[in-house]
Structure 1
Amino acid sequence: MKNINPTKTKSWQILKNHFVKMQKVTINHLFKKNKNRFVNFSINFKNEIIFDYSKNIIDKKTIYNLINLAKETNCIEAIYDMFYGEKINVTEKRAVLHVAARYNKTSFFLKNKSIYNNIDSILEKIEYLSNNIISGKWKSYTNKKIKNIINIGIGGSNLGPLMIIESLRAYKNNLNIYFLSNVDYSQLINITQKIKPEESLFIVSSKTFTTQETLTNFISIKEWLIKNIAFTNLNDLLSQHFIAITNNINAAIQLGISKNNIVPLLSEIGGRFSLWSSIGLPISLSIGFNNFKRLLEGAMEMDNHFFTSPLNSNIPVIMALISIWYSNFWKTETEAVIPYSNDMRFLPQYLQQLNMESNGKSIDRNGNKIFYETSPIIWGDVGTNGQHSFFQMLHQGTKIIPCDFIASVIPNFFSQNHHNKLISNFIAQTQALAFGNIKNNTHEKNIYKLCFGNNPSNSIFLRKITPNNLGSLIAFYEHKIFIQGIILNIFSFDQWGVELGKQIANIILNNHFEEDIKNNDSSTNGLINFYKLFN
């Protein structure tokens, strides 16, 4: 993987000149000029997903120049490096293996084939646990069937499984799945008020088994369980009610988790990319192991598309390039993700972490300060809710905000009346953003009603929200973010910035709550001392 400053490439300079010309072009003009624009600027994936990028301020020359940028920054070589298991997570000296979690021993990927043995054994354990718990064979300490699964984890150990389970609500079984992530005690109380301890199983998900929020919640839940279930053997109680997912097996054992109840997590799989791994156990418990496998298979199919497709017909590559086009040449600062599915309401939040934790960097792979844009700010909400809040700014505000609109042709919960109205809004909003209400030099006479259009968007239309299609969609975004990181010359698979706040929080927790504090900045001192007035 080569370290190339993108702004020093020939393609970047050509794109700067090309941008000057494209500033004067409108989406309306582009459609009038090319009657086949949808065909030329859309990609059909397996007849299951349509990616329409025609409503962007781009032409064939834009894509040609952006593809050359991808070539100049050695994207193809970087793709091979990730799939072949090279240590592209350089700052942590690790390979990046979330892709490997979706494959089996017959795969042509990875030089180190023994990794697949570990992956297979983890999948076997997920299947075994899922089947036993869903069927009712796994009993609680008081010989009750498990009805409630509570996942204790934060970040990727929370958002990924939560987003998938909610998106695939139509596939859910009889188990109730709860997510305990926040160290705010109110979330723990809210969950424990809804469940009975003798019918509940807790999954503690932490790669290092040192995450403060997760361990604090785990210890408090353990105390709650001990208080509410009469027992004669503590180890038996814990073994019937706790499972751990971690890379630090010894730490989990020391905190009371039975060794038989620990599912390993490979160190080479980052948290925000980990839903395909043992972190996905709650997904398997919610929708069944066979559907979990279909989720992996859908991601694998997108991997194959990403690995084998030419750059100019490669969905993740095209999407990454369009994002770079806007953030670095149009100087847009944000991107909105708008799923027209209430079940997919956590997708914007999930993609926020996936993108901003990966590419929110200001030092390049050469160790130099960056003076171009890396990660856009990702935000969004479900349609049609967003239409009655922030869409006003999208249509008439002063900022250009590229959007991804996502919907399914066939709903999982069917009402023709509801769905026709939902999809009409999905399609209409992209049309209104692109073309506004100015046509043939005539327009709304009331100036305050004018919508000038020329606001870009991608439309992603799934045939149906299935485990397979959702797996493809999420892998699509993973690879988009990877390509952005490669072109922008940053390390996408570490997150050192997250650690600083944790370190300072521990210092404050351990040293600053016992006496009058004077040795920090005046703001920190003032806030700590105000807190201590009431505690």
Structure 2
Amino acid sequence: MADTAAIWKQLADHSRRTLSALFEEDGRLDLLSTRLEWGEGDLAGGIRFDWSKTHLDAKLLALFEQLASASGFAEQRDQLLTGAKINVTEGRAAEHIAQRGVGAEASVEEAAALHLRMKMLVEAIHQGALGEVNHLIHIGIGGSALGPAMAVDALTRDLELVDVHVVSNIDGLALEQAFAACDPPTTMIAVASKTFTTIETMTNADSALKWLADSGVSDPSGRVVALTANPEAAVLWGVDETRILPFPESVGGRYSLWSSIGFPVAIAAGWDEFEAMLAGGQAMDEHFRDTEGRANLPLRAAFADQYYTRIRGCQTRACFAYDERLSLLPDYLQQLEMESNGKRVKTSGDPVEGATAPVTWGGVGTDAQHAVFQLLHQGTHLVPVDFIASIAPGDELNPAHHRILLTNCFAQGAALMAGGNMAEDGKDPARAFPGDRPSATMLCDDLDAATLGALIAFHEHRTFANAVLMGINPFDQFGVELGKKMANDIDTGDVSFDSSTEALLAAAGLK
């Protein structure tokens, strides 16, 4: 890979024009607004991706294309897609894409076989082969919980075949709340853990088994499904082999929704919906694989991300879904982006020269307009914003609901860019809006399972593209492990801490 320092300098030195000035040029929409389509007939769908309200221009795009080339983007994308050990710090491949049917042939075949195994169990449960099942308590943490929770919430607003409760927090209140909503004799437990040793997950699983036993269920272990890359550990814990749904070691936690970790999605929404989600993800994979330069949508998104984070010094990026079905998307993206790219060294071990992942945050429109948009419009922070909306409504109420929702979404982007002064004389500084504040919009035809899959895959590839441009490994997460190790050390009593921590432990009766 070539030296990228000179390109970063050219990017930093590029003249800055306002968004209003950029819109005076012809062809801006053609340059930065692109529609991606997939499927035919009833399976057809699409998303319009619009970065025209960002400060990207033709010169910046050309420079970022040079940066991508110098950073080895094409080569690293090929490694990702062919199952090479691109997770260099852990010596692993990152083969979540194979779960969607794109990647190394052997890995795609393995994924198809494991999906068939999961489909058979899902359909058996729906057909009553395991008795009456009305509830599922899905126990996991991190990627084993955030993805399933988001997808179940997005896809089951109209119909939920099985009532699913996702529990991740070790705080017992979370588990008790799920218990209160479920009828023990008709409840199954899904335990999602890559290693089947995660302390929070296994502690919650033990408590769930005790709840079933205390509630008179004669064979609590017979109500458990294990979702894991370590089937042997699940067998030792007491799960029957027929109810273990494995996934490959090369599928990382925050990228695992497409594997057996998606079991609660298939249980709640049905296998057809889960399969449609995979198909939408595959459509984005094929675009990412086959498209070069600025036309590659996840790569173009990374160009904008790097411009604002590295060049303009933006410490946060906000995502606002103008659709209640995507209320958990900001939470999901927090882990995906911040756990993947919240690093300070490159794959070489050298320090990163500039900022890496911004803080990802967001909310749901129109609620957020009455909470945080004051800062976005008039605050001192420059915050790039992503808006996500669906042309088709998710409700059957008066169309005025959806019309007001969409007009608010589009108006916010326009107002952030244009600014102005709301005073009658146009001179009141308290009513002044500086404008020139960037946003991007992702406008979906509808928020169905395929569209959800395409959106998630888009953000996965965007995260990867950002990592390549920064020279970091997005597939490890050692920062997650340190605090967990120290928490375990407290139980052993083999470690001492600073005086503040020792006092807190003593006050809580832990020492």
Matched with 1:135 is 127
Deviation at 1:17, TM superposition (A): 1.3
SS of 1:151's partner is: strand
Report how many residues are paired.
Answer: 503
Cα deviation code 1:420-466 (max 9, x no counterpart) = 00001000000000111159xx9723220100101100000000001
Once structures 1 and 2 are overlaid, which stretch shifts more, 376-385 or 222-231? 222-231
| Pair 1:371 & 2:358 matched | no
Alpha-carbon distance in structure 1 between the residues aligned to 2:109 and 2:445: 34
SS in structure 2 opposite 1:209? Answer: coil
- Equivalent residue letter for 2:362: G
Residues 1:420 and 2:403 aligned together? yes
Q: CA RMSD in A?
A: 1.8
1:96 matched to 2:94? The reply is yes
2:239 is the alignment partner of 1:257: yes
Aligned counterparts, 1:88-127, within 5 A: 88-103=86-101, 109-110=103-104, 113-127=105-119
Corresponding residue for residue 154 of structure 1 = 141
User: Superposed, which structure 2 residues align to 1:348-367 within 5 Å?
Assistant: 348-367=330-349
Contact 1:89/1:95 (8 A) holds in 2: yes
Contact 2:73 2:469 (8 Å CA) reproduced = yes
Choose 339-348 or 304-313, whichever is displaced more: 304-313
Using the alignment, how far apart are the partners of 2:135 and 2:3 within structure 1? 50
Q: Give deviations 1:103-146, integer Å, cap 9, x for gaps.
A: 1xxx6x31xx332332122111111111112232321xxxxx10
Tell me which of 179, 183, 189 is aligned to 2:166: 179
Q: Which of 3, 28, 34 is 2:20 aligned to?
A: 28
Is the Cα contact below 8 Å between 2:89 and 2:476 reproduced in 1?
yes
- The residue type paired with residue 80 of structure 2 is M
1:323 lines up with 2:314 in the alignment: no
Say which of 448, 451, 454 aligns to 1:472: 454
Matched, 1:500 2:498: no
Bigger drift between 412-421 and 460-469 goes to: 412-421
Q: Would the aligned equivalents of 1:352 and 1:378 in 2 still touch at CA under 8 Å?
A: yes
Report Cα offsets for 1:3-41 as digits up to 9, x if no partner.
x664x2x321211211xx21xx2111111x224322321
User: What residue is the counterpart of 2:42 in the other structure?
Assistant: none
Match of 2:499 in 1: 522
Instruction: Please name the residue that 1:164 is paired with.
Output: 151
Q: 1:173: Cα distance to partner? A: 2.9
Q: Distance in 2 between matches of 1:119 and 1:79?
A: 20
Show structure 1 runs of 5+ residues with no match.
Answer: 140-144
Distance, in Å, in 2 between the alignment partners of 1:345 and 1:361 is: 27
CA distance in 2, matches of 1:320, 1:443: 41
Which residue among 341, 359, 377 is the counterpart of 1:395? 377
Aligned residue identity for 1:407: A
Give the aligned residue type for 1:43.
T
Task: Say whether the 8 Å CA contact 2:228–2:244 is kept in structure 1.
Answer: yes
Q: Is the Cα contact below 8 Å between 1:437 and 1:443 reproduced in 2?
A: no
Structure 1 contact 49–460 (Cα < 8 Å) conserved:
yes
Counterpart CA distance in 2 for 1:230 and 1:305 is 49
Amino acid at match of 2:152: I
2:497 & 2:370 partners in 1: Cα distance? Answer: 44
* 8 Å CA contact 1:430, 1:457 repeated in 2: yes
Secondary structure of the corresponding residue to residue 129 of structure 1: helix
Give 2:51's match in structure 1, choosing from 38, 53, 56.
53
Change (3 A) 1:220 1:349: same
Residues 230 and 280 of structure 1: CA distance in aligned 2, closer, same or farther (over 3 Å): closer
* 1:331 Cα offset (Å): 0.4
Contact 1:171 1:287 in 2 (8 A): no
Q: 1:285 and 1:358 mapped to 2: Cα distance? A: 28
What TM-score results when the alignment is normalised by the length of structure 2?
A: 0.95
Q: Aligned with 1:214: secondary structure?
A: helix
Question: 2:89, 2:347 within 8 Å by CA — same for their partners in 1?
Answer: no
Amino acid at match of 1:521: D
Q: Distance in 1 between matches of 2:290 and 2:108?
A: 21
Q: Mind listing any 5+ residue stretches in structure 2 that lack a counterpart? A: 38-44
